[in-house]
Structure 1
Amino acid sequence: MVIYCDPLFQMIYSYTRKQALENGNLIDVTEQAKKAGFDRQNLHNPTCQHSCTVL
């Protein structure tokens, strides 16, 4: 993977989608979304997931 580095900015921290899924900050709802007609990967954060579940 190539990361473009602007000389004026220095990356302090990087947090990937994979990391967020692994630690529970994102929830994969792709299978449920497919049943509703969506054809792309769908991810929710726990707050959104809770709101959708309550409704």
Structure 2
Amino acid sequence: MRKTTKEIIKEKEQIIASDRDSQIFFDAVTQPAKPSETLKKALEDYHKRKRTVLF
């Protein structure tokens, strides 16, 4: 079966995206960013609310 030009280009673009996505994921897992001040505040607020919930 013969591939069309569009099929070949689509296949190559998917491979490039996959390699790039893999690298981004790997970097995020091996070198995670430090939490921002906003994230730290959100966690603090979450813990405060969690303590005030009555069961």
Normalising by the smaller structure, the TM-score range is under 0.3
Higher RCO (CA-CA < 8 Å; seq separation 6+)? 1
Higher helix fraction: Structure 1 or Structure 2? 2
Higher-Rg member (1/2): 2
Q: Could you tell me the TM-score, scaled by structure 1's length?
A: 0.26
Higher strand fraction: Structure 1 or Structure 2? 1
